[in-house]
Amino acid sequence: MDTVDKANMREFLRSFYGTSVDHWQMNEGVFDLLVRMLQTSGRCSDLMDLVPRPMKPGQTAAKWLSKEIRSQLLRNIHKRREYYRVCLERAAINLRTDFELAGRGLAY
């Protein structure tokens, strides 16, 4: 991920988790969790349309998606973050601990 992708992802996650996100690394684990958040919510289907399916079993989103799709996903999320925040909020509650661990480079 380049610096723009990381900045977009951090800004979006800050809307759920506040300033604790400032201590996190924006790495592939965090991106995978963000995609899992989209998948489990079953909402924001316009975003999920960007993700080619089915993903191979055991494959992570960061490795499965091309750089262009990852960047587009993060750009879209950032552009309409207020809208997506509302539709993903409940899913974000259940993933907080995983994000805390992944953002510190720990196994989750």
**Whole-angstrom distance, CA of residue 104 vs CA of residue 54:** 29
- Residue from 2, 3, 23, 56 touching other proteins (CB under 8 A): that is 23
- Whether the upstream peptide bond of residue 57 has omega within 30° of 0, thus cis, is no
**Whole-angstrom distance, CA of residue 1 vs CA of residue 3:** 7
Give the shortest CB-93-to-other proteins separation in angstroms: 7
91 sits near other proteins (criterion: CB under 8 A): yes
- Residue from 6, 36, 43, 78 touching other proteins (CB under 8 A): that is 43
78 sits near other proteins (criterion: CB under 8 A): no
Calculate the alpha carbon distances from 108 to 22, 26, 35, 81, 103 in Å.
Answer: 19, 15, 15, 25, 10
Give the shortest CB-50-to-other proteins separation in angstroms: 20
Residues forming the site for other proteins (CB under 8 A): 17, 20, 23, 40-43, 85-86, 89-91, 93-94, 96-97, 100-101, 104
